[in-house]
Structure 1
Amino acid sequence: MSENKDETLASFQNITGIDDVGEAFSHLEAVNWNLMDALSRVMPHDDAPLSNTVLAPQPALPNPVQPGAQSNTNGFRPPSYDELPGPSNASASSFFASAMHNHNQNQRHRYPTSHLLAQLTSSINLDPSSQNNNQNVMNFNINFNQTLFQIRLPSTATIDQLKRKIFDVTNVPVCRQSICGWPPAKASDAQKGGTQICNLDLSPENELILIDLTEDGFMDTEPDEVPQRLDKDYNIKILYEPHGTFTLNLSGRTTILEVKTNVYYVKEIPVRHQEWTGWPSGCNNDTTLAESGIELNHQFVLRNLAERAQSNSNAALDGENPQTISNSASNTFDVVTLDSESSADEFEDATDFNTAEYIFTDSPPVQPLNRHLIPNNTDDETTGSSQFVENYQSRFGEPYPEFFVGSLESALQLACHKPAKERKLLAIYLHHGESILTNVFCDHLMKAESIIQTLKEKFVLFGWDMTYDSNKDMFLSLLTARISSNASLTARNIKLDKLPAIMLVGKSRQLGSNCEVLSVIHGNIGLDDLLSRLIETTAMYEEQLQVEIRQEDERAARDQVKAEQDMAYEETLQADMAKEAAKSQKAAAQAAERKRIESERAEENARRESIRLVAEQSLPLEPGEQEASICKIRVRKPTGDFLERRFYTQNNLQDLLNYVTANGFLIEEYKLISSWPRRDLTAIESSQTLATLKMSPQETVILEER
């Protein structure tokens, strides 16, 4: 047993093919980390009885990764054991495959398991310290998930070998590894798998950062790098088993669908029959090569499902076990440069990529008609939701939970995008008609009154059927678009033996503005456990919401105070505006009055001036001092000074009045008084002559205001 538990765990997983770290960990813990004992626990025992000494030949499934496993979507599948970028000791992997084959062939002879385990472990070097120390060794400190992993490699090692070593210690597949920390001048060279690390200007001790981009859905690609990668050329090397290798030169703007279409043009493999290995997690048929995150020189493995199914069926009819397809049928590289914009009018059924629906046998098994709650290839989520509820009620009968009918976006709006006091959790029920847990889960757990009542009060329940791959792919895309890529990845990774399942989705201030998956309840659970999980998740979620509710209440109180202050300010402002308006109105009235008075004054002055001018023009000529029959009239003004003029004695009183008027004293405003005898001259007949009035030779009169 290796002293390093991580290496022992990795070796145990590589030998047994157990991907679940928890399961592998439990096996090793049970035997105190003894690798041989742990392998004995999971491998067939020597005394295990054989139920059938002669095994009937079974046709191979189209997907050889794991018998009974669900086909990967969109023609993608995970790498099989011999393709995993796992431990760099390739001989251990190949020996394991060969040993397992011999074990299966000789099981009827009860070949001892201990011999097999000895063969399996004998070729695996569990002690990395046994490497040749005479080489020029470079040290790499890999920082990943707040843990430091140390790797030592000879300077002649390549980037691919480094990544395989990183997989050994971190379990992060090569296709998901994004490594940061290379010298800037050599960053592009570090993206090429064949580059030797001695050519990267590295020091003997190097610090690197590993990012697992599984959750992001793409590898080695930051958002700001995608536009730069769109115009680059990608050299796609495709190993077409068992016919050899060919290469496509494509633009970064080429979508994965167009890559498949181009393969159809070159090799005449219908898209629905293409099985690919090597695409990063999270890719779909609309993803461009630039967005996928693959390197500029990338290798894939391609298989023709129809061809393999046919060969497996023929082998089964002949009574022989299907043989492993050789990967070395040809070493010739056919380089084909294709236009990614070429028309696909003639290519066969390019939009159907669901390989799980194609069974290449003469007599496909008949499945119950009602195991699918949503018909195949449903393209509208609202219609699918309605059909799901209708078929669920028809199949399982009453009582049943109250499912939301509508789009996933509408369900999210109703549950999560509301004020904290009104917010609920969104429960997404993931159904699968082929799971053995479905009938028990739906007929017993989902019919319990406590479950129905809890779901109704605390959750918005949305259901979807994952039985058909087409509907599964559509819903996973909806989860990515509506919630997050993590939600889609979580749903994708739920195994068939754990379905049905309920994903609980919520949004709180701690989670940010987006919704996230808070918990996943698998179908292999009892009624009490299901109820407690629902209640515990609800309690935890409501506890998180309390802070937000208090903040909303405080915000509402502040808004109320602010609203009252704004109202008071508005009232004061309106009063001030009214005062200003009244003041302005008063000022305008005063200005208008002044203008009127000035106008009247101007009119009056004009009238007085007109009267004065008429009177001035009416005056007779003033006689000279030496002339006879004259009289001198002195007029004392109200100010005390005098006006003086000579008149002929035959001039009348009106001439005197005109003289006074011509000097600005209108008779309508002033009286002309004679001193002796005192009399008002303006009150007597103005046609009388001055002689008649006895005002010669001279007379003084007084002007008085009326």
Structure 2
Amino acid sequence: MDIESMLVDDSTDIVFLVHYGDHTVRVELPREKTVGSLKMVLTRKTGLSGDDMDLLGWDAPAVADEMTFEEMGIEKEYNLILLAKNGSEDDRDKTSMTYHIQMEDEENDETFNLYFNGLQTVQDVKGHAATLSPIPVDRQRWDGWPWPISDHQSLMEVGLKTPTHKLRLNRIRDIVRPLGSNNARSNYLDTDNITEDEDDTEDDLEAVASASPSLAAQRGSLIPDVTLPIGAAVDLFVQNFEQRYGDKHVSFFVGALKDAMSFAFDRPITDRQLLVIYLHHDRSISVNIFVTQILQSPLIIEHVTDRVVVWPWDVTADDNKKIVRREIEQALGVDGGIPLSSIADQYPFMLICAKMKGSVELLRTIDGSKTASEVLHALEYADGVQSRAKAIEVSEQEARNRNRIMVEEQNVAYQKSLEADQAKAEAKRLLEQQAQLAENDARELIRRRERRQEEAAASLPPEPSQANGDPITIIRLKTPDGKNLTRRFSSNEPLKQLYKFALANGFPQEEFKLVCSFPRKDLGELDQHKSLKELGLTQQIALFVEEN
């Protein structure tokens, strides 16, 4: 599509993209200019008089020539359609045109070809997209529409590109919320107004220390270095955890929380797993009991294996609380701060999450007071909720697939009918394009081959002189076209230098092999890092260059 530029004033504020037939006229005017001044510029560019022009696409219901753009509230870029009232050749009837929209569903990695007439609206496009993609209309985020648009505008008014207009569809991300609740924050440890009695906590910890001196000696954050990257910090957590409690425990995911989410959720629907965020506080009275009775329970270990991704973090240090709060906000999309308790004995803590219909749901929370049977019951409940959601999502996906197949079949038939009149011209264009691409590919292949040859030649050491007394191997390559390539090599050079020599002369190893005639031996089967002397290639060696 041709774009013509009209620079009227250095102080221009508004860019008008006026679509006229197959052309787009670009006009820049200050906000204090009028509709009449725009028509004057278009008269110079198109030859149409102001009386013969019909400008479509204004937001205002009634537009007069003396109205200024500032009065109309127009800012930045504005798309209009110019129709000629006298019915000129460039003014096709846009109400009867077929608009081809190529919609790329980036969330589901699918592309759809959609066809609409000029009287259909933006809302019609969005509604049709919802029948093909699992993203409902109220959660759709679009990129690629001309600006500005509204849902009620017809496609002939919005200034779509022809013959194809490309749009990208994504989902407006949900925040993490508890199942059946509108308030995600209420399910976290909401303890902003709770203060800790430091003396009582220290007394409790001293009691535990006296009862178990070995544990007291080991007490401290499992992530003492708060400067580590998230993945390295989790790895350190696992090492310190196993040093303290042993290696028999539920399997921990080592990596950032967003990577744990991807591992649990970014897979076929039926294979999705639950995600459990485990928050460990080493100054908690309950932590050792929770580890031994929950995380090291054979029943719990058996249940979570291949079903649950467990991501651990230590919140003993205040800095680590801030880090995990930020990690949860970024990875799970929680809007606002995550209230984490400052009281050690409210830990350990688990958040059980699942992906359901494209958003992450918080299904259950578990604190350090729960028994193994209570934790197992919570996990089984979450499994049940997720399984039912999977079944619904699979059913909906199958319905969408059937609908998509039907629409695609209709689109293919319709597209064939539209392209019938243009088949010869299109075929010629494609042939020319393919020929040009093939020529470009061939040139690029030649350039890459030449660069490789030059690099190989430059990397070869100088031929050794026979006068210095070092052992020399003289290699003669007989090429497929009957030529002989001869060069001296130090017998101490590795075999790979011989292949560089062949590459420098246009015989790369991936296309050609070097073969001894008697006994017949493919040098590619030898260790190329060994010297010619170690491989027995000394004095004068004749080799044949053969195609693979």
TM-score in terms of structure 2 length: 0.36
Higher share in helix: 1
Asked which structure has the greater CA Rg, the reply is 1
The one of the two structures with greater contact order (alpha-carbon pairs below 8 A, sep at least 6) is 2
Of Structure 1 and Structure 2, the greater strand share is in: 2
